[in-house]
Amino acid sequence: MDDPFVIVGGDAAGMSAASKAKRADPELDVIVFERGEWVSYAACGMPYYVKGTVEDLEDLVAVTPEEFREDRDVDLRTGHEVIAIDREEKTVTVEADGEQFEQPYGSVLIGTGARAVEPPFDGLELEGVYTLRSMDEADAIESFVTDREPERAAIVGGGYVGIEMAEALTERGVDVSIFEMLPRTLQPFGEQTAEIVEDHLRDQGVDLHLETAVQGFGGDGRVETVELEAETVAADLVVVGVGVTPNVDLAEKAGIELGPTGAIATDEYGRTNDEDVYAAGDCAEATNVVTGEPDHVPLALTANRAGRAIGSTVTGDPTPTGGTAGTAIVKAFELGAARTGVIDEDRALEAGFDPVSVTVQVPTRPHYYPGATDLTVTLVADRDSKRVLGASLVGRDGAKRIDTVATAVDTGLTVGELESLDLAYAPPFSPVWDPVLTAAKVLSGTIEG
Amino acid sequence: MDDPFVIVGGDAAGMSAASKAKRADPELDVIVFERGEWVSYAACGMPYYVKGTVEDLEDLVAVTPEEFREDRDVDLRTGHEVIAIDREEKTVTVEADGEQFEQPYGSVLIGTGARAVEPPFDGLELEGVYTLRSMDEADAIESFVTDREPERAAIVGGGYVGIEMAEALTERGVDVSIFEMLPRTLQPFGEQTAEIVEDHLRDQGVDLHLETAVQGFGGDGRVETVELEAETVAADLVVVGVGVTPNVDLAEKAGIELGPTGAIATDEYGRTNDEDVYAAGDCAEATNVVTGEPDHVPLALTANRAGRAIGSTVTGDPTPTGGTAGTAIVKAFELGAARTGVIDEDRALEAGFDPVSVTVQVPTRPHYYPGATDLTVTLVADRDSKRVLGASLVGRDGAKRIDTVATAVDTGLTVGELESLDLAYAPPFSPVWDPVLTAAKVLSGTIEG
């Protein structure tokens, strides 16, 4: 009998790997150690629990521990923390209920995820100050809003989480301020999209402070203020969402190599520098399909896909984990914003491209069909090869059109090839030239001068 | 001075070519002869005029004749019919106001469009019997509904037009029956999609008669009945929408070759067998991107794109007209149905493929996010090469996701490559695995069996 497939961490990557491995080889022992109590939960749904859109926190769980154990025959052990990997002995050291034991493995998957970055703010320990990285914190914020009825929330960070939480808390009747250190929100989406989102946030009553560094929080036991450089503003609820950092301590201690992004380096099959040790999800790198370089994109699909691929690989069917285009979409009140590929000029230059971009505003339906709204499309290509590098979209409707560009980016299409795609048209759904095609047309013209 | 670029027909292909040619070479004389009075109109919008969604018929005009003449400097002549092309002399014979004249050309574009097929039904001449192929007919149907308040409409043909008109007339308070000769509606969308649309049509009160041949219409001056083989049913309004046939008489008379589909054969630049004679739009063939064979897909984007490309080509910048994937989308009451590529089994076999298909039903959002509805995705691939051949989608939401598959089909992706695309996920927009990815996953599994 083979030594078991041991998985460290029971969320997207880990549980996808466990399920796939068990399905592919029911004889293989698959053991998942999860230090917390929640497994296989949709972290991306947490803001919607705070908002009240999702009624029960349990609704965010895709598959329950019982289902994993009983239906999928996965040996899932919650409350179990892996504290060391001994690659010589091929064992992991597990701590549970204050006891430790060794578990032998045939192969092991590190799926330890990422944690919220906690800047060195004073007052992080005050009551009413949260990050949003775990189900327990989502629960705590929701309870806090319900029980304490805060009046003024300060959100530190204008990324996805910040913007989703701004929407959630506004919906709950809380006045929201966002404090972002950089000159704009939604950094990976580019300036054109961010500006439209920012105007919309202001229209929705969010008090947006850009280029504003937070120093800390004040209060007596419970948070009362946010300390800025020049002033102090009142806040009785704080959510810090300034990004995540991969959990790599366990891997590092075991001599597993990290990549240039600081996440765990992997090959195309998700293998680390030890061929029996895999890594996937928010703790690991993935290959960027545009640059061909290692990238750290802690998003759900990448984690699910890589986990699933590794589940196949360890059971004898080597399956690449797939690249990432960094495709993302976020709802900001009434707007949808999406991005894919490389859109940042500096990053494109660094990767050896000569980026050219256009931004066009195109209605999502013909002028005569009611309900048309503008979609603003920023499309970026390499001047020389004309290859599509990336795009960002924003509008009330149609942000999912990013998938067309994601497909083009992933397959290395040129702007001309993107422009000549046969996309679907009928008045209730699109103008004759889909906004993506229009952007490609305009960008073609710009490149050809 | 060059002889003018003469365009026969002032709709999508013709006016796109005229505008592009004038923009590329303002010195070139561009003359458009249009036998009717309407130019550059959105035929696809006509059902929505009858429905009442679009208020003025003029709203369907993208660019007015005055704008073409004054802003774009196109010599547009409505009410002018080209009745012959003399390829030796390089002239066209034009008839207007009962007079004829010869117009020399340097190059000529045949953009004569298509016309509604009129089966040999008795009673086609009765008042209240319409096709829907011209703006004047859209106007006439709308007026008829408003003035005569018909109670029972019979729609002959269950294609796009039939279904869009069923929705339009139901909205106007008319009881609608559809008579379709074949065992199903929406033939090019495949059985799985058609069945869902059919159930929905019935739910919406449409009386659907499949495998039902119409023999003709009865009535005394005005239509009163539809004559079937076995029975006669009452109808005081009839719309015949059984397909279109390309207008190729002018081309044939001039010795221009037709292709296997019966439409005008063209090369990749839209050239016919005469290098100075181009053809584009609903009268011409386009190359199917899946089969590589000539195809006749009389849809708006193909026409616009080909016209525009020919406008570039005739002004010295040879531009391929682009292929067609036969991508189409249609609204059927609350549903959207879409298709792309080759999905018909016989057609795939004929083209040398060994088609395998799966149909999956996937919610368009995570289970916990409200408003999720099912999207039914039928995905077809070649067993041997695993190349994606086509897809059909249907659901209340998300049919525009066909564009992802259209892109995959156009670029020749395999099912595995489609499955590993990095598509956008966030709970308000999609489940982690977009329905298209799920279909690809399932189809991969089926092929690998």
Per-residue pLDDT reduced to its tens digit, B206-238? 999 999 999 999 999 999 999 999 899 999 999
pLDDT for B1: 58
Contacts of A412 (CB under 8 A, 6+ apart): A387, A388
Instruction: Domain B118-242: give its CATH superfamily.
Output: FAD/NAD(P)-binding domain (3.50.50.60)
The reply to whether A334-448 shares the fold of A5-115+245-313 is: yes
Average pLDDT, integer, range B251-262: 98
A404 touching chain B per CB within 8 A: yes
Mind listing the pLDDT tens digit for each residue in B293-320? Answer: 999 999 999 999 999 999 999 999 999 9
Residue from the list B305, B366, B434 with its beta carbon closest to the beta carbon of A45: B366
Q: What pLDDT is attached to residue A314?
A: 98
Strands (E), B37-164: 75-78, 81-86, 91-96, 99-104, 107-110, 114-116, 129-130, 152-156
Q: Which of helix, strand or coil describes residue A295?
A: strand
pLDDT tens, position by position, A72-96: 999 999 999 999 999 999 999 999 9
Helix B12-24 and helix B300-313, axial crossing angle in degrees, nearest 10: 30
Contacts of A435 (CB under 8 A, 6+ apart): A360, A362, A363, A364, A375, A377, A393, A398, A401
* Residue A194 contacts B, CB cutoff 8 Å: no
Q: Which token pair is A205?
A: 């009553």
Q: Give, for A388, the enclosing helix (H) or strand (E).
A: strand A388-395
Cβ contacts below 8 Å, chain A against chain B, sum to 200
Average pLDDT over residues B151-156: 98
Contact B422 A53 (CB under 8 A): no
Contact A403 B421 (CB under 8 A): yes
User: In chain A, which residue's Cα lies nearest the Cα of B287?
Assistant: A422
* Sequence spans of domains, chain B: 5-114+245-313, 118-242, 334-448
Quick one: average pLDDT of A438-444? 97
Which has the closest alpha carbon to B332: A406, A200, A426?
A: A426
**E strand intervals along B138-187:** 152-156, 175-179
Encode pLDDT of A122-134 as tens digits.
999 999 999 888 8
Interface subset of B 156-175, CB within 8 angstroms of A = 160
Q: Does A410 touch chain B (CB under 8 A)?
A: yes
Please judge whether B434 and A403 are an interchain contact, meaning their C-beta atoms are less than 8 angstroms apart: yes
CATH class of the domain defined by B5-114+245-313: alpha beta
Report d(CA A389, CA B81) in Å as an integer: 47
Instruction: Collect all residues of chain A within an 8 Å Cβ-Cβ radius of residue B323.
Output: 420, 422
Q: How confident is the model at residue B271 (pLDDT cuts 50, 70, 90)?
A: very high
Distance CA(A9)–CA(B390), nearest Å, equals 38
Mean pLDDT of A234-248: 96
- Smallest CA-to-CA distance from B201 within B150, B146, B143, B155 is with B155
Chosen from B15, B288, B407 to mutate, greatest number of chain A CBs within 10 A: B407
Pinpoint the alpha helices (H) of A322-434.
Answer: 345-350, 402-411, 415-419
Euclidean distance between CA atoms B187 and B3, whole angstroms = 45
B133 confidence band (pLDDT: 50, 70, 90): confident
**What residues of A are in contact with residue B417 (Cβ under 8 Å)?**
410-411
Q: Which conformational region is residue A221 in: left (phi greater than 0), alpha (psi within -120 to 50 degrees), or beta? A: left
Identify any residues that bridge with A222 across adjacent strands, giving them in sequence order.
A127, A220
Would you state the CATH architecture of domain B334-448?
3-Layer(bba) Sandwich (3.50)
At A108, which helix (H) or strand (E)?
A: strand A107-110
Question: pLDDT at position A1, please?
Answer: 58
CATH of domain A5-115+245-313: 3.50.50.60
- Burial class of residue A269, CB neighbours in 10 A (0-12, 13-18, 19+): middle
**Among residues B24, B44, B124, B210, which one is catalytic?**
B44
In the predicted model, is pLDDT for residue A202 greater than 90?
yes
Closest by alpha carbon to A238, among A181, A162, A182, A147?
Answer: A162
**Interchain contact B83–A (C-beta under 8 A):** no
Copy the structure tokens of residue A256: 């597993």
With beta carbons under 8 A apart, name residues in chain A contacting B43. Answer: none
Question: If DSSP states are collapsed to H, E and C, what string results for A154-209?
Answer: EEECCCHHHHHHHHHHHHCCCEEEEECCCCCCCHHHCHHHHHHHHHHHHHCCCEEE
Instruction: Say if residue B378's pLDDT is above 90.
Output: yes
CA-CA distance, A31 to B324, in Å (whole number)?
Answer: 50
Helices (H), A188-317: 191-203, 249-253, 300-313
pLDDT, tens digit, 9 for 90 and up, residues B324-348: 999 999 999 999 999 999 999 999 9
List the single residue in B with minimal CA-CA distance to A61: B368
Q: What angle is formed at CA B245 by the lines to CA B244 and CA B248, rounded to 5 degrees?
A: 150
Q: Report the alpha-carbon distance of residue A300 to residue A330 in Å, rounded.
A: 13
Residues of A in contact with B325 (CB under 8 A): 421-422
Give the strands of the sheet with B374-382, arranged side by side: B328-332, B335-341, B388-395, B374-382, B355-363
Residue B2: pLDDT band with limits 50, 70, 90: confident
Whether A116 has its CB under 8 Å from any CB of chain B: the answer is no
Q: Note every long-range contact of B88-93, with CB atoms under 8 Å and residues 24 or more positions apart, other chains counting.
A: B90/B3, B90/B276, B92/B6, B92/B8, B92/B33
Q: Which residues pair with A231 in a beta bridge?
A: none
ipTM of the complex: 0.96
Q: For an interface test with B, give the residue of A407, A413, A429 to mutate (most B CBs within 10 A).
A: A407
| CB < 8 Å to A325, chain B | 421-422
Amino acid symbol at A374: D
Any chain B CB within 8 A of the CB of A288? no
> What's the whole-number mean pLDDT along residues A317-345?
97
CA A413 to chain B, closest CA, distance in angstroms equals 8
Q: Catalytic positions of A, please?
A: 44
- d(CA B319, CA A282) in angstroms, rounded, equals 45
Most B CBs within 10 Å, among A46, A51, A63, A368, to test the B interface: A368
Q: Which positions ≥6 away from B263 have C-beta within 8 Å?
A: B246, B248, B282, B283, B284, B285, B296
Task: Considering the domain delimited by A119-241, tell me its CATH architecture.
Answer: 3-Layer(bba) Sandwich (3.50)
DSSP B265: P
The pLDDT of residue B39 is above 80 = yes
pLDDT tens digit sequence for A409-433:
999 999 999 999 999 999 999 999 9
Which residue is listed with tokens 């002033």?
A: A231
**pLDDT tens profile A376-418:** 999 999 999 999 999 999 999 999 999 999 999 999 999 999 9
